[in-house]
Structure 1
């Protein structure tokens, strides 16, 4: 439900749609502060390679094979940006955290993300037959199996955090806070609330569904990384605002090319970068990944092809 459009255009065949014309931003909106020498593409692809390997190991095919195959189909899908886990690791490293301590939660976030997309695409929800240019989960495995695959991925994410986070690096109290953060994100005050408004409407501002469906996971990814890195409560507050803005920015840029969407995207981009200014004391080397994350959200062709 985040970092990508939830609604995939109906297509007569399962081929990727042509690239959208990139939205144009002013130099101030797309410039990464102190990021001119940072190779985001290398940083991102290196992390994705590690995360993909760990996800592959985390979801082996077992009995009953049908569920596991459906789970793997969405979690290991080619074309996934891996934005939630990459943001989690980057936020953890900002505060001097160990990347190995962040990987279990990073993988769990991708499982939750995949589960939300599986459910989002179901006929009873958005009824999307295509995801990332390929048949969506229920198109391949049927609605019943897709529902089960999504249901199985949510608890697996929590189990993976508990069983794989090194207790000698991350205190148990921190692990509990991470789990609580993820549970809040997917629950009735987070992504589920956004999907409810998408389905039922109601007296909510237009930004409500975007904030809940897409901003919530951005918040969660940044905050979980901060927790694992040892951020203070004030720092977590700034990370939450930053992650919410980035999560909403992905959706605005991906789904709408109107003038009003462009204005909103510029506002979100500037807001996200403003929230990062409080972390300048940690230095460019650690902060630049989060700055350039905003540019990638605001200008998707910035990294293509990954």
Structure 2
């Protein structure tokens, strides 16, 4: 049975990618997939339990050179929210499958909780006006998927390091990301009134305080890497390289450059794919790269390993933006926790606008395949979290 695309269907569930589901009703499939994509939002306390099994490959049925995941949702209906829904994620045979029985939900939830707790500690007792401290905590501790911090820790572990070594980097990445969101939502930028289901920072605290909270978080991120890495016993040369990665990603080599290019492209009908990719590589993908590479570096990765992790994360970052662009068209403000339709209203170039929804779906599939290809030479068990993370990014519904 071939799934038919609909406005609420996850990215891979399109006829162009030929995904086959177990014979359950369309509404049941959609509910299970939505639950899969949302299981990680509440760190440490997901509302549903999901088992993610062996990642084996099977021959591709699409035009992609590598297959995309096939998700079989259990047809059993839970009478209460406390009953677990079982979801199998299966993808062919061969190496790099990640091993059987890897519990993706537990892994990500544990990393999210650890990072959340570390962020809470880092933002306590700040020597600043109470309003500034409250504004910083409001946005950083608002929740979110914590995918970038989890990526940093997974890359560190892939390189043979301990999670504790990457926790300062993971926290710094989240501070930088949150600072970019605070600034991005301001009236002088994208003018977003909602973020993570709550009023944006400038709505809650006023524009001056929000602006300064973003600035303070950006500065605190680098201080935290330096202090935290030393406390965790990370060699100084590794910590310095991580700081360089994060600094490039936050400034002219990343978020700042991408944001300016994004604003300058608003309403310009001549913006094509090359310009759009520049925007998204800098505004979004570069920070994802920095999270992964910094994690790998503090974990002891060599140059060749770090560059393979960088390429994986580059494709992952672009994938995230393709999904964001599609959800801005197909999602709702309630579903996403932020204002939708802003891109179209601002006349921005997006992947659905330039490629169409089906084209954007297909491009997402290509990006997942390319990301996974970069993991093939690594230990299968060590790479399993990164494989699952790429697929989670593609399936997410918010």
User: What's the TM-score bracket when you normalise by the shorter of the two chains?
Assistant: 0.7 to 0.9
2:131 to 50, 66, 72: 66
Residues 23 and 35 from structure 1, CA distance in 2 versus in 1: closer, same or farther, beyond 3 angstroms?
A: farther
Q: How big is the shift at 1:211?
A: 1.2
Structure 1 gaps, min length 5:
1-18
The verdict on how the C-alpha distance between 1:251 and 1:168 changes in structure 2, with shifts beyond 3 A counting, is closer
RMSD: 1.9
Larger radius of gyration: 2
Which residue matches 1:226?
296
Query: Structure 1-normalised TM-score?
Result: 0.87
What is the distance in 1 between the residues matched to 2:243 and 2:155?
17
Matches within 5 A, 1:52-91: 52-62=116-126, 63-78=128-143, 80-91=144-155
Deviations 1:180-226 (A, max 9, x none): 10000011121111111110128752211111111111111110111
Correspondence 1:297 to 2:389:
no
Task: Note the C-alpha offset of 1:278.
Answer: 2.3
Q: Is 1:149 the counterpart of 2:213 in the alignment?
A: yes
Higher relative contact order (CA 8 A, sep 6+): 1
Q: Which runs of 5+ in 2 are unaligned?
A: 1-6, 20-66, 70-89, 92-96, 331-356
> Separation in 2 of the partners of 1:35 and 1:124?
48
Give the helix-richer structure, 1 or 2.
Answer: 1
* Contact 2:165–2:232 (CA under 8 A) maintained in structure 1: no
The structure 2 residue matched to 1:23, chosen from 3, 8, 11, is: 11
Using structure 2 for the length normalisation, give the TM-score. Answer: 0.67
**Partner deviation per Cα, 1:265-292 (whole Å, 9 max, x = no partner):** 011111100111121xxx3221100110
Verify: 1:102 aligned to 2:166, yes or no.
yes
Q: Compared with structure 1, are the counterparts of its residues 29 and 200 closer, same or farther at alpha carbon in structure 2 (3 Å cutoff)?
A: same
Distance 1:299 1:36 in 2: 20
Q: Aligned-pair distance for 1:168?
A: 6.8
Q: Counterparts in 2 of 1:164-179, with a 5 A limit?
A: 164-166=228-230, 169-179=233-243
Matched residue, 2:77: none
TM-superposed CA distance for 1:254, in Å, is 2.6
1:64-112 CA distances to partner (integer Å, 9 max, x unpaired)? 011110000110003x110111000000001110111111111111111
Task: Give the alignment partner of residue 236 of structure 1, picking from 303, 306, 311.
Answer: 306
Shift of 1:20: 4.1
Distance in 1, matches of 2:280 and 2:306, equals 21
Find the counterpart in structure 2 of residue 274 from structure 1. Answer: 373
